Amino acid sequence: MSPSTHQISSNLDLDNLPHFDLSTFRHDSITYHKEDSSYWFYEKSKQSFPGQSFGLQVEEILYHAQSQFQDILIFKSTTFGNVLVLNGIIQCTEKDEFAYQELITHLPIMSHPSPKKVLVIGGGDCGVIRELIKHVEDGTVEEITMVEIDDMVIKLSTKFLPEMAKYHNHPKLNLIIDDGFAFLKNSVEKYDVIITDSSDPDDGPAEEFFQINYFKLLLNALNEKGIVIMQSSENIWLNLEYLKSLKTKASTVFNNVKYCQCYMPSYTSGQLGLIIATTDSSKDFTHPLRSFSREKESKLFKYYNEQVHCMSFVLPTWAENYLNNN
Ligand code: SAM
- Give mean pLDDT, residues 65-80: 96
* Per-residue pLDDT reduced to its tens digit, 265-304: 999 999 999 999 999 999 999 999 999 999 999 999 999 9
pLDDT of residue 6: 46
pLDDT at residue 8, as a whole number: 55
Nearest atom of ligand 1 to the alpha carbon of 123: 8
Give kind and range of the element (H or E) at residue 31: strand 30-33
Q: Which atom of ligand 1 is nearest to 206's Cα?
A: 20
Q: Right CATH number for 30-92 from 2.60.120.1310, 2.30.140.10, 3.40.50.2000, 1.10.10.2160?
A: 2.30.140.10
- Going by C-alpha positions, the residue among 182, 179, 259 that lies closest to residue 217 is 182
Q: Hey, where are the domains in the chain?
A: 30-92, 97-324
Distance, in Å, from the CA atom of 85 to the CA atom of 74, rounded to the nearest integer, reads: 6
Task: Kindly give the distance from the C-alpha atom of residue 148 to the centroid of ligand 1, in angstroms, as a whole number.
Answer: 7
Q: Which of 137, 108, 162 is nearest to 283 (CA)?
A: 108
Residues with CB under 6 A from ligand 1: 86, 91-92, 100, 121-125, 147-150, 153, 179-181, 197-199, 205-206, 231
Closest CA to 83 of 55, 105, 120: 55
What are 123-174's pLDDT values in tens digits?
999 999 999 999 999 999 999 999 999 999 999 999 999 999 999 999 999 9
Q: How far is the CA of 84 from the centre of ligand 1 (A)?
A: 11
Q: Evaluate whether 9 touches 68 at the Cβ level (below 8 Å).
A: no
pLDDT digits (tens, 9 = 90+) for 79-90: 999 999 999 999
Question: What integer pLDDT is reported at residue 326 of this predicted model?
Answer: 67
Q: Which of 216, 262, 270 is nearest to 98 (CA)?
A: 262
Residue 286's pLDDT is 97
How many Cα atoms sit within 13 Å of 263 on the Cβ side? Answer: 8
pLDDT for the residue numbered 170: 97
- Taking only the tens place, the pLDDT of each residue in 189-223 is 999 999 999 988 876 788 889 999 999 999 999 99
> 53 C-alpha vs ligand 1 centroid, how far in Å?
21
Consecutive H or E run containing 75: strand 71-77
Select from 73, 102, 148, 229 the residue to mutate for testing ligand 1; criterion: most ligand atoms less than 8 Å from CB: 148
Q: In what order do the strands lie in the sheet with 38-43?
A: 30-33, 38-43, 54-66, 71-77, 82-86, 89-93
For ligand 1, pick from 49, 198, 238 the residue to mutate: most ligand atoms within 8 Å of CB: 198
Minimum-distance ligand 1 atom for the alpha carbon of 233: 4
pLDDT given for residue 46 in this prediction: 86
**d(CA 124, ligand 1 centre) in Å:** 6
Q: DSSP character for 204?
A: S
DSSP H or E stretch at residue 74: strand 71-77
CB 196 within 8 A of CB 231: yes
* Burial label, 34 (beta-carbon count in 10 A; 0-12, 13-18, 19+): exposed
Atom of ligand 1 nearest to the CA of 97: 1
Taking a C-beta distance cutoff of 8 angstroms, is the pair 176, 5 a contact? Answer: no
Mean pLDDT of the chain: 94
Provide the pLDDT for residue 325.
83
User: pLDDT > 90: what percent of the chain?
Assistant: 89
User: Shortest CA distance to 193 belongs to which of 249, 287, 276, 137?
Assistant: 276
Catalytic residue, candidates 150, 192, 197, 200 = 197
Confidence band for 226, pLDDT divided at 50, 70 and 90: very high
Nearest CA to ligand 1 atom 16: 150
Q: Which residues contact 274 (CB under 8 A, 6 or more apart)?
A: 103, 104, 107, 229, 230, 231, 232, 259, 260, 261, 262
Q: Using 50, 70 and 90 to split pLDDT, how confident is the model at 234?
A: confident
Question: Separation of 297 CA from ligand 1 center, angstroms?
Answer: 28
Nearest CA owner, ligand 1 atom 3: 91
> Average pLDDT, stretch 95-114?
98
**Total-model pTM:** 0.96
- What residue's CA is closest to ligand 1, atom 27? 122
**Is residue 28 annotated as part of the catalytic site, yes or no?**
no
Single-letter residue type at 99: A
Distance 114 CA to ligand 1 centre (A): 26
CB-CB contact of 8 with 176 (8 Å): no
Query: Which class for 188: exposed (0-12), middle (13-18), buried (19 or more C-beta within 10 A)?
Result: exposed
Per cent of the chain over pLDDT 70 is 96
Q: CA-CA distance, 300 to 107, in Å (whole number)?
A: 14
Thinking of the domain 97-324, which architecture would CATH place it in?
Answer: 3-Layer(aba) Sandwich (3.40)
Q: Give the count of beta carbons closer than 10 Å to the beta carbon of residue 203.
A: 15
